[in-house]
Structure 1
Amino acid sequence: MKHKALHVLAWACASWFVAQPAQAQEPFIVGVVTHFMNDEAPPLPRLRLAAAAGINSARDAPYWSSAETALGQWRVVPGWRTWLSGGVDLNMTPMAILCFSTWFHNNIKPSEPQVKPGYLQYVDYATRQLGAGVGFYEIWNEWDLGNDPKDPALSADYAALVRDTAPIVRRNSPQSTILAGSITSHGMRGGFAERLIDDGVLNWVDGLSLHPYVHCANGENATPEGWIKWMRSYSQKLTNKVGREVPLYLTEMSWPSHQGNCGNTPVTQAAYLGRAYFLARTLPAIKGMWWYDLIDDGVDKSNQEHHFGLLEYGTLKPKPAYGVMQAVAPVVRDFRYDAQASRQGAEVYMLYFDKGPERVLAAWTTGYTRTESLISPTPQSGAVRYVDTAAPNKGQQTGPDWSCNAGKCTVPLSLNGFVKIISLGSDG
């Protein structure tokens, strides 16, 4: 990449480097989608790989078709409980999607009167069998997919399903957070959430779930920076409608690494992962983001659906995105975002995070590689220390020495499209 000349970034006031008083908050959810809850193969080795990446929630589906293999014949798939207990033991909060019809209902959605009673029986059975370990339940998956999200009947049918389903989940699993929507990008743009709100969905659930993919958008809109602008606008639209902040859970989000239309290289996928997770923390309405998904679903290089994962299909070899997840997850998950200190420019992003006395700066550029001169009004000594997510396996690296004069410390640091996580030590 081309380098621009040294660019000096000065901060106008010392308070930008001083952490604000810590406030109690729930850890941000750094989640991942898995596709093996219904498998016969032991899930624990794959769940361990997720936990090793710093992930604190796994999302999967105890399928209705797996629970009721024939009309009135119910069973618990052994994988359900081993997946659930494995996740809990690894400190990953499980999310279960209550979804998908059965062959004897011709795979019809439970909006039809001949199907809904069976679906509600499934919900009751599954939530009783899974017990207290499930942290999140999501009602159905992408109801709007393949339909016209502007159709009032579509949202009304789904709202009615949520109205009938949520009380069953609440009764059987009172500790769980209940989510509705799993609204696709198409549905988000088509007003699906707004119609669900009009139909009263927020009276029955704890938040909305979204699948805000942008990898097929044009230009900047397909980048993490364009994506977060859209998310801010969307969140504000919902806030204005409801009169309060609507909790948003991004239960699927990612960029694929296939060859062809809407594709990216594995390296770009990795860079986008780091930037997207840090940017998600800048929007308070977003409570968590589940990367779709843990493992690639195939090996066809031109098949988009085969290449969303952090690990390669079959071999489970880590892709570049897996190493980036390991590097960013601890900060994204456990640190507090300092909005007052942070700056998001046209090309340079400087986001500050605190955890007790620890303070870090997540920095990158969306344009050319460039050198930024960091200026600190608080004392710094020795070499600047940072983790470069372009090479996370190297761990913490050292760069040039801080140079201090007349109470000001500066250090030049090269930035590019991969996040650098820079240690600023104690907040003083």
Structure 2
Amino acid sequence: MPRPLLMLLLASLFYTACAPAEEPFIIGVATDLMNKAASPARTLQLLEDAGVDSVRDDAWWPVAEPQRGALRIDPAWQTYVSKAREHRLRPLLVLGYGSPFYDNYAKPRQPQVRDAFGNYVSFVSRELSANVDFYEIWNEWDKENPAAEEFSLDYSQLVEDSARRIRQQKKPQTILAGAVTSQGLDLGFADRLIESGVLQHADGLSLHPFVYCRHDERRTPERWMAWLRWIDSDLRTLAARPVPLYLSRMGWPSNNGKCGLSEQTQAAYLARSFFLAQTLPDIKGLWWAGLFDGSDRRDPQQNFGLFREDLTPKPAYLTLKAISPTLHDYRYDPEKSRELDGNYLLRFARGTDQVLVAWTSAASNTVRVDASSMQRGNVQLIDSSQPLKGQFDSGIAWQCNDGRCTAQIGLDDFPKIISLGNKPPLFAQ
């Protein structure tokens, strides 16, 4: 090998070895298990099996303070967070919801209520510090009044005080502000938090950017991501720096009737939303909005689950399990990705190993796929609509001529994870 080329290769390998590790993208699920008496162990095992990294649940203020001034940790909370750790799941706990002893569940905006809430935050964060990774300050504060400036300023003050108390613990936790709703995003609540300096105290913004009940053309994962890109750009401009975004509740329901999707379409949207979330670097993780469905098949809020009410897995759970290894192990490559006429062709890489995640939001069609290097035999892929098959031989042969291999692949609304082979290290980043 010529010396200049050898030096370039060594420099490339050195850079790759010494580059700072990216924070892994978080695959999360909102569980609603922590305040139930039944053991969560079996369910948490199913989440671990599916490649989930984090679970979100509620540390209700009234449960921690069942009598005025008498703070305690419910044994079910200790069981939940310790079992979550056993199953390699990082707990995200919501601190909030008001207390009957302080202005009848009022938000902590007045000094007396704010002080009491602060005592609760200090107590819970101290008692659970060994097993909790994330704290979210309140849940959807903006829902009551997303347009009022004073309302957002009071919340920013609450975040500042709560963050100061949480950071007194030995173990550092990630502190999230906001849980900003879609309406709050549209009406400037998140903007006002940034302008008030909330990121001086919190590590990122939590968002609940639901779009499932918007106009049909605006509630697809692709239109959702286009809207989030606009939100992200706006927040970056206001903050004059990247703003870490944690989508701590997000999803599409599979209910009957208004705003609902079929279980199959819910699974397709889950896969597309997780892959699209990785295309926006400021998004650090996505927590799917539900674990179990409820009994009312017409209520959207009861049908976000990965499991049906009888605990059988829905297609969404199986799809998540099939795609999670790619979400964990591969990094998005924007330079080699493209979207054309509703076809999404997203390139991901793990070192020299390249895959293409491809689907269409339009009518089913066929596209040409280029391999990363010379290939033999047939295209190997994972079809997220057939999650139990794992990676399989598609029966579609690579056609190779003049040092280039291509294949014609059919696309539908479920992402296919297509193995492109290994690119020579010199050219792979």
Same fold (TM over 0.5): yes
Is the Cα–Cα contact under 8 Å of residues 366 and 411 in structure 2 kept in the other structure? yes
Q: Confirm whether residue 44 of structure 1 aligns to residue 41 of structure 2.
A: yes
Q: Distance in 2 between matches of 1:390 and 1:195?
A: 41
Q: What TM-score does the superposition give when structure 2 sets the normalisation length?
A: 0.92
User: Cα offset for 1:178?
Assistant: 0.7
Between 78-87 and 105-114, the greater mean CA deviation after superposition: 105-114
Q: Confirm whether residue 132 of structure 1 aligns to residue 130 of structure 2.
A: yes
- The RMSD of aligned alpha carbons is 1.7
Within a 5 Å distance, the mapping from 1:63-142 to structure 2 comes to 63-105=60-102, 106-142=104-140
User: Cα offset for 1:371?
Assistant: 1.4
Q: What TM-score does the superposition give when structure 1 sets the normalisation length?
A: 0.92
Give per-residue Cα distances to partners, 1:79-110, cap 9 Å, x unaligned: 11111111111111111111111222311111
Instruction: Give the length in aligned residue pairs.
Output: 408
Q: Confirm whether residue 56 of structure 1 aligns to residue 53 of structure 2.
A: yes
Within a 5 Å distance, the mapping from 1:22-421 to structure 2 comes to 23=19, 24-105=21-102, 106-145=104-143, 147-172=144-169, 174-296=171-293, 298-313=294-309, 315-376=310-371, 378-399=373-394, 400-421=396-417
Q: Distance in 2 between matches of 1:173 and 1:306?
A: 38
Q: Distance in 2 between matches of 1:112 and 1:69?
A: 21
Larger relative contact order, structure 1 or 2 (CA cutoff 8 Å, min sep 6): 1
User: Cα offset for 1:378?
Assistant: 2.2
Give 3-state SS (helix, strand or coil) of 2:94's partner: strand
Give per-residue Cα distances to partners, 1:364-412, cap 9 Å, x unaligned: 0111111112233620111101011111011112121111112121211
Q: Distance in 2 between matches of 1:370 and 1:173?
A: 55
Q: Distance in 2 between matches of 1:124 and 1:393?
A: 45
Name the structure 2 match of 1:15: none
Q: Distance in 2 between matches of 1:288 and 1:382?
A: 37
User: Cα offset for 1:305?
Assistant: 1.1
Give per-residue Cα distances to partners, 1:257-289, cap 9 Å, x unaligned: 101211111111100000010000000010101
Give 3-state SS (helix, strand or coil) of 2:296's partner: coil
User: Cα offset for 1:28?
Assistant: 0.3
User: Cα offset for 1:119?
Assistant: 0.7
Give per-residue Cα distances to partners, 1:273-324, cap 9 Å, x unaligned: 000100000000101010001222x1211111110111112x2111110011
Q: Distance in 1 between matches of 2:316 and 2:372?
A: 35
User: Cα offset for 1:337?
Assistant: 0.9
Between 106-115 and 26-35, the greater mean CA deviation after superposition: 106-115
Give per-residue Cα distances to partners, 1:219-273, cap 9 Å, x unaligned: 3310000000001111000111111111111101000110121111111110000
Whichever residue aligns with residue 413 of structure 1, its letter is I
Give per-residue Cα distances to partners, 1:184-237, cap 9 Å, x unaligned: 000000100111122221111111110000111113310000000001111000
User: Cα offset for 1:21?
Assistant: 4.7
Whichever residue aligns with residue 141 of structure 1, its letter is N
Q: Distance in 2 between matches of 1:373 and 1:345?
A: 12
Identity percentage over the alignment?
Answer: 44
Between 351-360 and 378-387, the greater mean CA deviation after superposition: 351-360
Give 3-state SS (helix, strand or coil) of 2:177's partner: strand
Give 3-state SS (helix, strand or coil) of 2:333's partner: strand
Query: Segments of 4+ in structure 1 off by > 6 A?
Result: none
